[in-house]
Structure 1
C-alpha cells in the first residue's frame, strides 16, 4: 500500500471566460493517478465537510483510493486560482485557516505493516502546522525503513520564510529515498549550478534515486550506478496541470509492480527504464486533456 500524504484543494481553472472548479492538489493528484493505474493507495489529508470536500472524495473513491484515514473537519477547503499562459499553469492560493492548513500531528495515524512507500510534496510542506506534521510523518517513515518519495514542487510565492523552508526541505531530502525535481525546482534550490549537476548532487544527501524532469525535454533518472534518459511523448498539450503529479504516480506504480521499492539501492537499468517510460506515457495523457485528469490503466495498454 502506497501512502500519499499532502494537500488536496480545488483548482479554479479558467474556461471560456469563467472559472470552473476542479478537484486537485499535488499530492491528491498523485493519489488519484495511482488509484487509476491500479496501484494500492491510501490518501491522508484533512477533508472539509463543505461541498468541495465531497468533490475531492468522490474521484478518489471511484479510483479505489482508501480515504478512511482522512480526518473530517468543518474548516473550508483550500482554493487555488489558476492562470494559464501558453498552456503553463500558475497559481494563487486561498489557504489561511483551511482544512488542510491546520493538519496536526495528533491527526497522524500509526504506520501500518502493509505500507510499501510514503509519497509527500507540494505546498503541504510549507506552512505550519501542516508542514511540520508532514515532516514528522516523513521522519517516522524513514526511521521505520519505509521508502519516502519527495516532490517539493516549489511555489516561491507561497513561501513566507525562505530560510526556514530551505532548512525543512534539506531535512526532508535527507529522509527521502526518491526525489523528483523539476527544472524550476532546481533553479530555485541551486541557481548557481547547471540543472543536471544540481540534480545529481542530491544523491550525496541521502536519496538513492533522483528524477529530473524537464517537461517536453523528457526526464533523467540519476542513481549512483546509472544515468538514464526518457523522452517525453509528443501530444497536443491542453495544459500542464497535474503532469508532474501523474509522472510521480507512474514511477511509484511501476516500481511497486516490479517489487523494486524495497531494493532501491539495487535498481537495475531495465527496471528503471521501464518505470521512466511508464511515467512519461502516463504524464503525456494528462497534458493532452484539460485539468488534472490522469489516465486509467486501460488507457496505457
Structure 2
C-alpha cells in the first residue's frame, strides 16, 4: 500500500464571476488518483471538521483510500484561490493556522505493516511545523520504504527561500524518485538547462529524476539513457492536477510491474520507465481534458493499471 502525505485543501476555482470550491492539493490529488486507478492507497494529513473537511473526505472514501491515519481537527481547511491565464492555473493561498499547516512532528503515527511505499511533497514541505513533520517522516522511513518526492515548487508561497532550499537539499538525497516540472528545475537551478538541472538533482542520490513539461512530454533521467514519453493529445480544459495525476500513473505502473520496492529500484530498465511515463501521461491527459483536479478511474484508462 502506498502512503501519501502532504496537503489537502480547497481550490476556489473561477466560475462565471464567482468561485466554486473543489477538493484539491497536490498530494491529495495524487492520493485520489491512485485510489481511482485501483492502487491500494492510504493518506496521512490532518482533516478539518469544518464543511470543507467533509468535502475533502468524500472523494477519498469514494476512491477506497484508507483514511484511518488522518487526524481530525477544529482548525480550518486551507483555501487556494485559483486564477486561470490561458488555461494555466495560478494560486493564492490562505493557510495560516490551518489544519495541515499545524501538523507537528509529535503527531507522526507509527505506520501500519502494509505500507510499502511513501509519496510526499507539495506546499506542505514549505512552512513549519508541517514541513518539519513531513521531513521527519521521510527521514524516519526512507531506509526501508521507497520514497517518491514531488516538491511542486510554488515560489510565491515560499517566505524563507534559504530554509526551503536547505530542506530540499536534505530530502532529495533520501528520495528514490524525484519529480520536477520544467518550472521547478528553473527555480532550483536557473543557470542550467532542464537536462543539466535534472542530472544535477540525480547526482544528489535519487535513482530516477522525472521531468514533466506538459505538452512537451515527460523524461526520466537515471543511470541509463534518458527515457522520453510524449504527451497524449487532448483538448485541454485546464491544467489543475495534471502533474499530480501523472505522479499517480507512474506509481501505479511501477507497482503493477513489481518495481516499487527498495530492492527492485536498482533493477529498473528502460522498458519499466517507459511504461511508467506512458501511464502517467495517459492519466494526466484525462485530467486536463476536464475542469478541476478530476483524475481518471481505472475504467477510463486505455491500459490495465492494477494487478
TM-score of the alignment, normalized to the shorter chain, above 0.5: yes
- Which digits, 9 at most, give the CA deviation of each residue in 1:229-266, with x for residues without a partner? 00000111000000000000000000011110111111
Counterpart in the other structure of 1:116: 116
Q: How high is the TM-score relative to the length of structure 2?
A: 0.97
In 2, Cα distance between equivalents of 1:111 and 1:136: 13
In 2, Cα distance between equivalents of 1:156 and 1:277: 29
1:205 partner SS? coil
Q: Would you say 1:107 and 2:97 are equivalent positions?
A: no
Counterpart in the other structure of 2:155: 156
Deviation at 1:111, TM superposition (A): 2.5
| Equivalent residues of 1:111, 1:141 under 8 A apart | no
Counterpart in the other structure of 1:214: 213
- Which digits, 9 at most, give the CA deviation of each residue in 1:173-225, with x for residues without a partner? 01100000000000100000001111022121110011011011000011112
Counterpart in the other structure of 1:225: 224
| Equivalent residues of 2:2, 2:117 under 8 A apart | yes
Q: How many residues align?
A: 300
Counterpart in the other structure of 1:70: 70
Deviation at 1:113, TM superposition (A): 2.6
In 1, Cα distance between equivalents of 2:216 and 2:270: 20
In 2, Cα distance between equivalents of 1:30 and 1:141: 20
| Equivalent residues of 2:224, 2:270 under 8 A apart | no
1:275 partner SS? helix
2:266 partner SS? helix
In 1, Cα distance between equivalents of 2:52 and 2:229: 37
Counterpart in the other structure of 2:135: 135
Deviation at 1:227, TM superposition (A): 0.9
- Which digits, 9 at most, give the CA deviation of each residue in 1:101-124, with x for residues without a partner? 000112211133311210011100
| Equivalent residues of 1:48, 1:99 under 8 A apart | yes
In 2, Cα distance between equivalents of 1:203 and 1:74: 41
In 2, Cα distance between equivalents of 1:222 and 1:115: 27
Q: RMSD of aligned C-alpha atoms?
A: 0.7
In 1, Cα distance between equivalents of 2:225 and 2:66: 35
Structure 2 gap segments, 5+ residues each: 303-307
Structure 1 gap segments, 5+ residues each: none
Counterpart in the other structure of 1:87: 87
In 2, Cα distance between equivalents of 1:226 and 1:134: 32
1:298 partner SS? helix
Counterpart in the other structure of 2:305: none
